[in-house]
Amino acid sequence: MQITPEPIAGSDTESGELSVVPAASMAPAFSPLYQQIKRLILNSLRAGEWKPGEGIPSEMDLATRYRVSQGTVRKAIDELAAENLLLRRQGKGTFVTTHAEQQVQFRFLKLEPDSGTRGSSGPAHRNIIECRRARASMDVAKALGLRTGETVLQVRRVLSFGGTPIILEDIWLPAVPFRGLTAERLANYQGPMYALFETEFNVRMVRAEEKIRAIPSLKMHESLLNVKQGTALLSVERVAYTYRDEPMELRKGYYRTDTHHYHNALN
């Protein structure tokens, strides 16, 4: 059984909904119903039919809408919840996840103090050093899917914990989606940067990939991070992706790890 999506939000960007056959393959490309439902829900998220923080229709409503059983909708939502795109709350409903909540303040930041829990030394202090327009270098362009020389915004900031500067971040953003972003707006905004991206620029960061290295600190790190040149720093290069799986941010972080460490759980 295949589903014919009803044109609700006038936003089905993808034309070929089903039966995508791998090139030069005889595979029938069978796709279970719940995967098709999952894609329809994802399309609604992409189209902004339900915004971050809002609730989506109940399972029964969606089942009626898509003309499938509740269990099928349920399995679709389960997967989206596992990917952190949706959040289920028993008795209340299912909600679009957002970066604008206290609990997930630093969802992508895995640095922790060696002793104590994160936040035990008070809230992080953010210091915007600069925000300027620039031309994408080759590696920045490649990471963001742009052409070399295209206009990007470059942000530099320092994060301090307990009064000590711990992290220097250089951030590159494509200029077009982020038109109007200034150092002042960044400095005045309370809350995670990704929350500002959501509310002000309609850009939702969904997942990220990081490449981690150890590097000797440079001269510029001396004053900004209060370390001597040559000190070992953790280099964390992150590319963050949107609902559409487009790379929308390149972030090069330099972490002091004398009092903190990057924590990772392996399963």
Q: Smallest distance, Å, CB 82 to a copy of itself? A: 8
Residue 61 binding target from a copy of itself, DNA, none, CB below 5 to 8 Å by type = DNA
Residue 70 sits in the site that holds DNA (CB under 7 A): yes
Classify residue 29 as left (phi > 0), alpha (psi -120 to 50) or beta: left
Number of residues engaging DNA in binding (CB under 7 A): 26
Pick 65 or 261: Cβ nearer a copy of itself: 261
DSSP state for residue 18 in the 8-state scheme? S
First to last CA, the chain: 36
24 binds, among a copy of itself, DNA, none (CB under 5 to 8 A by kind): none
Return the closest-CA partner of residue 117 out of 151, 83, 162: 162
> Smallest distance from the beta carbon of 112 to a copy of itself, in angstroms?
8
CB of 64 vs a copy of itself, minimal distance in Å: 23
For residue 70, CA distances in Å to 38, 74, 175, 255 come to 13, 6, 43, 47
Residues that bind a copy of itself (CB under 8 A): 83-84, 107-108, 110, 207-216, 230-235, 237-238, 255, 257, 261-267
From candidates 5, 93, 113, 162, binder to DNA by CB under 7 A: 93
Residues 108/97, Cβ–Cβ less than 8 Å: no
With contact defined as beta carbons under 8 Å apart, do 141 and 111 qualify?
A: no
193 Cβ partners below 8 Å, 6+ apart? Answer: 171, 186
- Which lies closer to a copy of itself via its Cβ, residue 84 or residue 148? 84
CB-wise, 69 or 120, nearer to DNA?
Answer: 69
Dist. CA 260–CA 197, nearest whole Å: 27
Can you tell me which residue has the tokens 């020389």? Answer: 149
Q: Are 258 and 228 in contact (CB under 8 A)?
A: no
Q: How far is the CB of 12 from a copy of itself (least distance, A)?
A: 26
- Draw the binding track, 28-47, toward DNA (x: CB under 7 A; -: no contact): x-x-xxxx------------
Name the binder of 59 from a copy of itself, DNA, none, CB < 5-8 A by kind.
DNA
Give me the residues that bind DNA (CB under 7 A), please: 1, 28, 30, 32-35, 56, 58-61, 68-72, 74-75, 88-94
